[in-house]
Amino acid sequence: MKVTLIAYTPEPERVIAAAAKTCYASKSVGSVLEGLDEAETERFVDMLASIGHESPIEHASFTFAVEGISRSCLAQLTRHRLASYSVRSQRYVSEKKFTYVTPPEIEDCPEALALYREAMEADHRYYERLVALLTEKHLESFAGREDAKTLARKKAQEDARFVLPNACDTQLVMTMNARELKNFFLHRCCSRAQWEIRALADAMLEEVRAVAPHIFAEAGPPCVKGACPEGKMSCGKAAEMRKKYGAEAK
């Protein structure tokens, strides 16, 4: 997995502070911005977090390039609907030599790993065979065109992709605003989240904290700021999680 923050709102914390201050200012936005030096910006963003005023942080957005996650992880990720996603297409991009994600528990069991690899190799063969068969079938539809074979193959890939496994990896560009990101971290940094999306969330949090440390100072699972909401399903490691995500144990 590779996660890279490729773009974000310039001076995100200053933008957020200006947006929040504008709600209570009689002067122009330009004048509000002029009064926001680094210290005042940090103070105001920290204050917003302390009182739970989150709507102003929607004004800052962050765009990530994500590579090497499974289609299974992608399905979980896109449940976070207040975001924009551009994902590599399996219709237009051949998966003839697809690579895949191996779960750690399978990696750690030689017998399971051997079976898993066997299944992936079989999927490779089935995919290639289906593409070949369907390409031949569709050639008739594009007879007489110079790009007939290319068009036939792309049409074949539409249906052949149905045999591809959830393990098949993908890449995407996604954008979330800061408020949605904090909600994402709330759910996906939790120890009860599935391992792959938890690793993704941790990598994303590391990226945004480097450029907006005050916005994401207490980002992470619910137990970072309060009690665990998981009840009897709690991992019982709240202090450890607070330490991991940078909050003092309470």
Provide the pLDDT for residue 35.
Answer: 76
- CB-based contact 135:153 (threshold 8 Å): yes
- Among 52, 44, 43, 50, residue whose Cα is nearest residue 20: 44
Reported as type and span, the H/E element at residue 244 is: helix 238-244
Residue 30, pLDDT > 90, answer no
- Coil/strand/helix, residue 15: helix
- Among 170, 201, 179, 169, residue whose Cα is nearest residue 188: 201
Q: Which two tokens stand for residue 18?
A: 């200006």
Residue 115: band (very low, low, confident or very high) from pLDDT cuts 50, 70, 90: very high
Question: What pLDDT digit, counting tens, does each position of 42-78 carry?
Answer: 888 888 888 888 899 999 999 999 999 999 999 999 9
- CB-based contact 41:14 (threshold 8 Å): yes
Candidate from 36-40, 81-85, 186-190 with smallest mean pLDDT: 36-40
Strand partners of residue 64 = 5, 174
Angle between helices 178-188 and 195-211 (to 10 degrees): 140
Provide the pLDDT for residue 248.
Answer: 45
Q: Which two tokens stand for residue 206?
A: 């590391």
Q: Is the model more confident about 233 or about 102? A: 102
**Mean predicted confidence (pLDDT) in 212-221:** 93
Provide the pLDDT for residue 10.
Answer: 95
Q: Which residues are the active-site residues?
A: 188
